[in-house]
Amino acid sequence: MTLDSKLENTKAVIRFFVPVKKKSFAGTIVLVTGAGHGIGKELAMKFSEVGARLILWDINKRQVEEVEQTIRKSRHKDDAAKSYVCDVSKVENIKATAAKMRREVGEVEVLVNNAGILHGGSLLEILWPSKFKENPNELMYKGINPQYKERND
């Protein structure tokens, strides 16, 4: 066992007895992609329950607007959620939507890059659907904010 892994194990034992303080998401700006349906929608609803301000991106206008309305009504606050139609497989679309979002809401603090396509095929195709010419996460980093990746807080 290396010194690094011993240190990591020691930290894990300490964390077990002295849990880290839970982060509060109240007021935090959270962007969820693919928020119109499925896992993205459920995550958006959960973040809303803990007081986050939701930015919802989806390719499907009707669905994402429905989620926006549900969150606004449940919180009785118009600024609790803001939806945008965006195809996250296109970096220019991401950049344009991100610029609009920054002007209208602010800087994203938490990114849940959930949008994607689930289908069968080779392992590479499953991990990296052909609609996405590049790694979907790299696309979002490039489109949203080059410094975002470095922040990692």
Binding site for ligand NAD (CB under 6 A): 33-34, 36-40, 57-60, 63, 86-89, 114-118
Separation CA 133–CA 102 (nearest Å): 26
Q: Nearest distance from residue 23's CB to ligand NAD, in Å?
A: 23
Q: Nearest distance from residue 119's CB to ligand NAD, in Å?
A: 8
Q: Nearest distance from residue 153's CB to ligand NAD, in Å?
A: 24
Contact 66, 36 (CB under 8 A): yes
The residue type found at 88 is V
Q: Nearest distance from residue 101's CB to ligand NAD, in Å?
A: 14
Separation CA 110–CA 123 (nearest Å): 28
Nearer to ligand NAD, 25 or 84 (CB): 84
Nearer to ligand NAD, 39 or 80 (CB): 39
Nearer to ligand NAD, 16 or 86 (CB): 86
Nearer to ligand NAD, 24 or 69 (CB): 69
Which residue, judged by CB position, is nearest to ligand NAD in the bound state?
38
